[in-house]
Amino acid sequence: MQELTKAQQGRIAIRAFKTIANGLALRGFYRPNGQSGKTLERALCMLSPEIYGSMNDLRRIELEGLEYVLDRLPRGIESCNRIVLTAQEEFEDTPFEPIQPLKRRRLSYQVSDREICFVITRGLSEIYDILTHITFLNIEAKKIYGQMTDDRGQTTAEWQSMAAYLQNGDDPSEGQLDKALWDLSILLGRTYQETRKTFHSLETSRLEANSNNGLFRIIYDLGKRVEAENADPDHALRIYFTPALQELIGHHKYGESWARHISDTLRELDVPDRPLHIVCANMHSVVNTLYAYAALQDSPPEADQLDLYEFFGEVRDRSEDVREFALNHGLIELPDISGAQIDCQIIDPLHLAAIPLHPGVHINPMAIEARQPLILVMDYAFGTQAFEVMDELLDVLCAGEDNRSMGVDSISIMGKAGILPGQKGDIMLATAHVLEGSTDNYIVDNDLSPTDFDCPETIYVGPMVTVLGTSLQNRDVLERFQTTTWQAVGLEMEGGHYQRAISAAVIRGHIPSDVKLRYAYYASDNPLVSGQTLASGGMGDEGILPTYMITKVILEKILNGSGASQ
């Protein structure tokens, strides 16, 4: 029998995780330490995502992966043995505390000190994301439990030190903290410096955002939860999927409501004959590019003396001033009211004629007057949610309801992605989207090219892999996509789903086949390079240049007249 390559094993693991997760969601519950949960765990261990680092090392606790996961799960998850995933319910009039993770737009409620309820509004990708993180957390919890006692069954000195540190309160002396961190590093199988770095990073988040309970408490509670489960099966960790959630899977409940709100707002503006340009981006880069220069002309920084991208770096702390100015010059905000957690903005460029733009932004006012474009900016979707919201949006805008359909001239998608041949801060332009774990591939006639940008030497052009999740990436699979004739340049979670909805809209006659498409991503990480994975931290100032370079090019294309049939 021919031995499978590592890439083939990785693909099997991805498919297995997806299939098992789907089955568990339909079943309604599972125990991570039960038979089904262990099957899911084996698939994740076989996959061995780069973001989870030393997960498969039984002696070393994975600290960077742990921090990454804790930033995306609700505070207190480490002590819970009952986790419920449900659809949107009426929690407003309950005593349950709402909790928002530090780095995920994800709402959950603390039902008790041992139970948390996740409200799922973003589809299967959100379920996969939560289940991968819970599976990883349970693996690490069992490794921590293994360090609680020695070979004689006695509590280790390091565990006793951690328990004593927690009993002494939150204001230890520097010497006490250093000694406790030293003992903790031995227990975790990490160096003192690695442990200290993770401690301070989590402590900063705890003090500033109350997003976690601190490293010592997290490690202690993870170990004690497994101890309680081993002592009494009634305390076993269980994951539940409510019937309301099961009914929601595959339906577009939130996307339909979200799209209807946008359509109703556009109808109230009475602009049916103006060409609409959809931009999927963050909620600040488009507004800053169009309005920040005029909004801050009379106050520091001296915009005329700054390079365009230096200027955007300097105005980050002035967002409220820019917002107030923009609201008086053509910006309309559409906060999400559907539960989809995707805010939107409508921008009327006709108002730009009365305000100055930064000299580095090249826009022709005569083209705006002639074409009278309208811009709809929508915040980032999450994974498969991208199909739901784009499908519903193009349907409600362009299906001709009441003979008042809007013409969509262009769709521009920008965002963060992992890069394969380059490094953080580089830009990727998609020529196709290849969906990992399925046979779906979509060719893209991208209206963007390297010559549109100020730094073409840092731009990579090629297919993008649309992955199942940020935590379901396998190094060998990604290397195969890069080094074989696929010649993939990056990976992300939404592009293939957006393109599937766009292709469907073309087939259904909702948008013209020559609608302008633009896909551009900036590299937030390189999963093939140690120290550049997502778990190594965010981009910080590195993200300013590529974010605004892409935003500038997209807006110049839109406002200077590059749309359908141009």
pLDDT, position 380: 95
Exposed/middle/buried for residue 64 (C-beta within 10 Å: 0-12, 13-18, 19+)? buried
How many other C-beta atoms lie within 10 A of the C-beta of residue 439?
6
pLDDT more than 90, % of the chain: 73
Rounded Cα–Cα distance for residues 74 and 183 (Å):
27
pLDDT, position 354: 87
pLDDT more than 70, % of the chain: 95
Query: Does the pLDDT at position 447 exceed 70?
Result: yes
DSSP 319-365: HHHHHHHHHTTTEEEE---SSS---EEEE-GGGGGGS---TTS---H
pLDDT, position 4: 84
DSSP-based three-state secondary structure for 466: strand
| Least-confidence region, from 264-268, 276-280, 522-526, 536-540 | 536-540
pLDDT, position 56: 94
E strand residue ranges, 190-316 = 238-241, 276-280
Which helix (H) or strand (E) covers residue 69, if one does?
helix 63-70
Rounded Cα–Cα distance for residues 413 and 280 (Å):
5
Report yes or no: 133 and 471 within 8 Å, Cβ to Cβ: yes
pLDDT, position 565: 46
- 356 alpha carbon, distance to own chain's centre: 34
| Least-confidence region, from 166-170, 352-356, 467-471 | 166-170
DSSP-based three-state secondary structure for 232: coil
The per-residue pLDDT for range 165-199, each reduced to its tens digit, is 999 876 778 888 999 999 999 999 999 999 999 99
The per-residue pLDDT for range 493-533, each reduced to its tens digit, is 999 999 999 999 999 999 999 999 999 999 998 888 777 77
Query: Does the pLDDT at position 125 exceed 70?
Result: yes
DSSP 43-63: HHHHH--GGGTTTT-TTS--H
> Would strands 115-119 and 331-334 be described as parallel, antiparallel, or unpaired?
unpaired
Tokens of 4: 């499978």
Rounded Cα–Cα distance for residues 262 and 264 (Å):
5
Query: Does the pLDDT at position 2 exceed 80?
Result: no
7-21, 73-87, 90-104: range with highest mean pLDDT? 73-87
Cα–Cα distances (Å) from 226 to 135, 148, 187, 499, in that order, read: 13, 11, 16, 44
Q: What is the mean pLDDT of residues 17-39?
A: 94
The per-residue pLDDT for range 30-60, each reduced to its tens digit, is 999 999 999 999 999 999 998 898 999 999 9
The per-residue pLDDT for range 211-269, each reduced to its tens digit, is 999 999 999 999 999 999 999 999 999 999 999 898 887 777 889 999 999 999 999 99
Q: What is the mean pLDDT of residues 438-447?
A: 92
DSSP 361-379: S---HHHHHHH--EEEEE-
Q: How confident is the model at residue 399 (pLDDT cuts 50, 70, 90)?
A: low
Average pLDDT, the chain: 91
Phi and psi angles of residue 414, each rounded to the nearest 5 degrees, phi first? -130, 155
Query: Does the pLDDT at position 304 exceed 60?
Result: no
Q: Angle CA(408)–CA(380)–CA(24) in degrees, nearest 5?
A: 115
Report yes or no: 527 and 47 within 8 Å, Cβ to Cβ: no
- What length is written for the chain? 566
Rounded Cα–Cα distance for residues 196 and 194 (Å):
5
- 465, β-bridge pairs: 434, 491
pLDDT, position 400: 56
Rounded Cα–Cα distance for residues 101 and 382 (Å):
15
How many other C-beta atoms lie within 10 A of the C-beta of residue 348?
18
Q: Angle CA(416)–CA(211)–CA(468) in degrees, nearest 5?
A: 35
Question: Which one is predicted more confidently, 236 or 4?
Answer: 236
The per-residue pLDDT for range 319-347, each reduced to its tens digit, is 999 999 999 999 999 999 998 999 999 99
Question: Which one is predicted more confidently, 267 or 565?
Answer: 267
Q: What is the dihedral of CA 410, 416, 418, 423, to 10 degrees?
A: 110
Rounded Cα–Cα distance for residues 549 and 80 (Å):
44
